[in-house]
Structure 1
Amino acid sequence: MSDSELWSEIEKYHEMLPLSLRQELFEKIKQYGLTREEALAVIDEAVKRYLSSLVAPGEAVGMVAAQSIGEPATQMTLRTFHFAGVRELNVTLGLPRLIEIVDLRREPSTPLMEIYLEPSIATNEQEALRLAREIELTTIETLCKSVVMDYYEKSIILELDPEMLENRDVSVDDVVKALNKIKGRKGKVEVSEDGFKITFYTGLEDLIKFRRMYDRVLNLRVKGIKGIRHAIVKPVRDEQGNLKEYVILTEGSNLQAVLSIEGVDPKRTKTNNIIEIYEVLGIEAARAAIINEIKRVLDEHGLDVDYRHILMVADAMTYTGKVRQVGRHGVAGEKGSILARASFEVTVKNLVEAAMRGEMDELKGVIENVIIESRPIPIGTGAVKLKMRYQGPMGSEGERR
């Protein structure tokens, strides 16, 4: 069968099958070199399976999606897993991670990033290590062997670790420069002759302020990106064991700052912080992240959930143009029905506020009709309104609904 004949056979179903599915059918049949009879049989089977997968009109898709994800979620174990086979980084998975995603926590309990490099340096280990050092947050505390508070002179004595300075690619001048930014008018910084002992005279008299200054000095950023506590370089290999590229895995996340670093591939770099993705890349990227994160959690436990149910959760959380949690401050709390809102949480508050505003419930959803009783729920057969003609008692024709 020629390509044009094959495409014309597939195009007979253009009103039934979406374009992407028709194109995939065309490519697969060509790839396997099927005969005309085999190709027609495959097309018929594809049409049958597609039609059988469609949702019936009036089906309660939201409830089915909730059950489809909620039931297997109860089978998950409550534990954390090591990230991608790397011992140093832990990642929250299972039910706690699923709750984090749908509750849209401001920051995950274990924020992580996968930083991919530009193709030109992706296989260069030294460049990957250099970027990791540039990204990893280095504070004064990290670089010190010991930190002593001198209460008499109100000074902080820092003993620097030469090995750590070399490891983090930081000089003593970098430390002094960071301290000079917070010394104030009365403070001063002195460096010993060997260069590894720094005395920071705060110039403060108040003990409470002195103590706060000590905490501030320890957490003072010398180098790196705020929020990224740890960065390691991991080689990625193909099935034959050959090196494909190096990837930087980080504990902590700061997507905007990382994407601005030269050498980082912005198209592939990922974070598990959905709010951050929304703020930096927008609502479509946040929707894709919600789908990928839920799928990853379920796949880790070998749970097979229909992809369309995951899409529905992501769509419900993002269709307004903003990301919203599935809770009383988001999807459930912003329903149009007063009774649906009241049935979820804070019942009295919802009813009182609706009464004060004079709101009206049109009873269009499932929950409110279950509460009211005696009304058909508008799903399935309850969604159908039947109109018919009938013969009246005297033979006259009338209408009945």
Structure 2
Amino acid sequence: MAHWLFNEEHEMFRRAVRSFVKKEILPFVEEWERAEEFPRELYRRMGELGYFGIKFPEAYGGMEADLIAEAVLIEELARCGSGGVAAGLGAHFRIALTPIWKFGNEDQKRTYLMPGIAGEKVAALGITEADVDSDVAGIRTTTRKDGNEYVLNGNKMFITNGVMADFVVVAAKTDPAANHKGISLFIVERGSPGFLVGKKLKKLGWRSSDTAELILDEVRVPAANLIGEENKGFYYIMQNFQWERICMALQSVALAELALEQAIRYAGERTQFGQPIQKFQVIQHMLVDMAVNIEKARQLTYHALYLFMNGEDALTETAMAKALAGEMVREVTDAAVQIHGGNGYMMEFPVQRYWRDARLQSIGGGTTQIMNKMIVKQLGLAGN
């Protein structure tokens, strides 16, 4: 559906990305889901096409385009129907590379950002820990200064690209007593002594993305790998959270739209009592409810995107969009499975994957409950 937010250049870019997804991702989704990973070559291919560099400066191999173009890419990647592929690629270019671009020094940008944009190196962001999900200030990974090095100790959990990554942007406390004011960000390279993949995690959904537990045991990192200023990491992380949440809302809307398309197609083909089930009013109303709920989430998400790209305070709208879209996609994909009946429960039909992948949308990037807590605060309501 056309929207005023997108101009003709955006729509041309959308057509190009959609063609790429159709030819180079869709035919392999089932294979990658079974393998529980997608090939490293896909990163290189995305780099060759310039897709990783949309928002980054031309000086580092980027396109220096606007955030609307990146939003188009995020939507179209989500439409491949594999949350894992979209998550693995997205974690690389829109989450892990961003702190280096915004706060890193010139050497870090040349060493890590440029090959990341080219798809030659894979990046991950290491913030989450087993007992610390949405509470970034509560991370327990610590570091101490030793000459020209920092020594990191701790564990990270649920890290997308954790197995494949060539480097990880790790959050650690340089001043544990200072709570959130004592967090710093470091670039840790794969192969560093003491830096290990604890295990590759098995997941309900997003199966084609590699997700890992990471162990840091006396890992020595050069002081040159500190991103920005010491003890400023929490603020660096927070600055990108709004964009991450808008991206997750965009993914939710795109996945829900895909589920609706599949449900409409199936309802037109599946016959019961001598006619397509699409003729039954109860199915028609289910499909209408799905379409209306998708559109609600889409409009709120686009509004948040518009505010954010124009530099306005979009904290409330971003939290609302993330919460609404994350819950909506769960409901829409569940309805799509229901419309498919018994076939919806079979692995041969993609709606079961949409349903499994959708479940994370209300958890990752800040749970719905955390979003609601933020909105309560923004509205000035009573409560903690």
Q: Same fold (TM over 0.5)?
A: no
Q: TM-score w.r.t. structure 1 length?
A: 0.23
Higher relative helix content: 2
Q: TM-score w.r.t. structure 2 length?
A: 0.24
